[in-house]
Copies of this chain bind each other. A is one copy, B any other.
Amino acid sequence: MKVNLNQLKDEFKRYLKRRNMKITQSRLDLIDLLASYGRHFEVEELVNWVASRTDRRVSRSTVYRTIKLLQEFGAIKEVIKQNNRTIYEFVVGKPHHDHLVCVECGKIIEFVNEDIENLQDEVCREYDFEPMNHRLEIFGICSECRKQT
């Protein structure tokens, strides 16, 4: 699914205004970068990536702060928590999905399953629980890793 970046940035600007926050260059740069990044990422990875683009420096602090902000805005999500590491994903324009994680090679497989989603909603209704977000991680061994001896 294609996203209109300008439209996204406008929404983000409005979001910042609503929260009495300032529209800074760092924030716009990061949303730009993330929109084009195209894979799951860790924060430290992003810090280095931003640092390698010499045209503008964004500190580690700001990257962490902006990641949190973009989560609240809804543009990114924590999708995998494993070994004290957090893997994020830019989700704008992507339908919701969950993940299979190979514990051997680290490969991440995405899957969409509406039936599971619906059953989750049913469970929440049963417990009068208002779901905000969820994370389903299935850890195991991918087919390629199983082939190797």
Residue A109 at the B interface, CB < 8 A?
A: yes
Chain A contacts to B: CB under 8 angstroms: 81, 84, 100, 102-103, 109, 111, 113, 115-116, 119-120, 123-124, 126-143, 146
- Min CB gap A69→B, angstroms: 16
Does A120 lie within 8 Å of B130, measured CB to CB? no
Does B103 lie within 8 Å of A128, measured CB to CB? no
Does B120 lie within 8 Å of A119, measured CB to CB? no
Contacts of A142 in B (CB 8 A): 127-130
Interface residue from B103, B123, B131, B146 paired with A113 (Cβ < 8 Å)? B123
CA distance A126 to B142 in the complex (A): 11
